[in-house]
Amino acid sequence: MNINSKRFVIRKSLIGKNVVITFTNKKQENVSYNHDEVYNAHSEKFEAMNCFAKYKSYTNTNAVPAFCRNLQTITE
């Protein structure tokens, strides 16, 4: 399943659904990533965030978070 988004997002409701998300960053570059691979690589970090506990999601409007940029699954 593919989703187009306005921002980088990791959501509890998408875990395990093998979703590929594509968004346009503020440099107008399309960025795609496999939601499950990003979540699985950094699940402890996401689960420790207040926003993830409260809203069941993490978003970043402008870019891929620095701690995720090294993943092979992210393509620009």
Q: What amino acid occupies position 75?
A: T
SS3 at position 14: helix
The pLDDT confidence band at residue 3, using thresholds 50, 70 and 90, is very high
Q: For residue 9, what pLDDT is reported? A: 97
SS3 at position 58: strand
pLDDT (tens digit per residue) in 12-38:
999 999 999 999 988 898 999 999 999
| pTM score of the predicted model | 0.89
Q: For residue 71, what pLDDT is reported? A: 84
Has residue 74 got a pLDDT over 80?
Answer: no
DSSP codes, 18-51? --EEEEE-TTS-EEEEEHHHHHHHTHHHHHHSHH
DSSP assigned state of 13: G
**Residues with Cβ < 8 Å from 1, sequence gap 6 or more?**
17, 18, 19, 20
